[in-house]
Amino acid sequence: MILYPNAKLNLGLQIVRKREDGFHELRTLFVPYFGLKDILEVLPAKELKMYRYGLAYDGKAMDNICIKAYHALEEDFAIPPVEIHLYKKIPVGAGLGGGSADGSFTLIALNEIYKLGLSKEQLCKYAAKIGSDCPFFIYNQPMMASGRGEILTQYDFPMEDYKFEVINPKIHITTAEAYSKIIPRERLKSMVAGGEDISSLTDCPIDKLDTSLEEILSLEPSSWRELLINDFEPSTFERHPKLAEIKSDLYSKGAIYASLSGSGSAMFGMFKR
């Protein structure tokens, strides 16, 4: 079976607080981006094997998320081994969710090949075991996300009204690096209450730190530039000024909205069709 795992973009990304389990509570709107796709082939085999092609990245092939997806299902189902071929076209460490897509599409393929009969809701439970963003790719449609990104609610976003341009600056940003510099919104509010100046720490207007994404997204897109914030941008732009330049360039080209995707480093512009 051959599938084409696609990328994703984040419209707004609010980091609310750090949880007791070490993860961060977030709010974001995931939308699929079909302009970048990997190629995934899953075949029944005598032995579990993984082959990678295309863009190079660190790590052993048998530690790949596709293998983790196989083992997640193997724990509950007596599925035979498979041979997985993955051609990487989605940049790694760019905030486009390529790895998460690969893992989720592997679950979808295994469900079909071995006729497991799992519903999307059931597949999402397995997807959440292998990565926080993975459940989104089971649905692969606009979804409001909370928790670690695994709590999803369908959201009516008119994808057909817009086109997206994605810029890959070829800067690798690990998730750990991105989160190490983040200051959650609950902490920012405490700092404001204590009289501290947070203007250099967030792009969000101080009086809007509690404003929900749904409320912001319900406004005209022309207002999103000031309100629909990706909380990773201030610290990421400070370390990589080139990204701020790309964002400015996208607006100069007529983008209605431009932002970092996920924890970066890919930038995207949203244009009216």
With vertex at residue 120, the alpha carbon angle to CA 114 and CA 125, rounded to the nearest 5 degrees, is: 90
Q: Give the confidence band of 174 by pLDDT, cuts at 50, 70, 90.
A: confident
pLDDT for 23: 85
pLDDT for 58: 84
Q: Give the confidence band of 113 by pLDDT, cuts at 50, 70, 90.
A: very high
Is 156 designated active site? no
Strand ordering across the sheet containing 143-146: 6-18, 24-37, 143-146, 151-154
Model confidence, pTM = 0.93
- The stretch 58-68 carries a mean pLDDT of 94
Pick the CATH number of 159-272 from 1.10.10.350, 3.30.460.80, 3.30.1950.10, 3.30.70.890: 3.30.70.890
Which CATH code for domain 2-154?
Answer: 3.30.230.10
**pLDDT digits 0-9 by tens, 155-172:** 999 999 999 999 999 898
**pLDDT digits 0-9 by tens, 220-272:** 998 999 999 999 999 999 999 999 999 999 999 999 999 999 998 999 999 99
Query: d(Cα 227, Cα 126) in Å, to the nearest integer?
Result: 34
Is 8 designated active site? yes
Active-site pick, 8, 37, 88, 129: 8
pLDDT for 106: 98
Domain boundaries, the chain: 2-154, 159-272
Strand ordering across the sheet containing 257-260: 162-167, 267-272, 257-260
Active-site pick, 38, 88, 102, 133: 133
Residue 236, φ and ψ in degrees, nearest 5: -70, -40
- The stretch 95-103 carries a mean pLDDT of 96
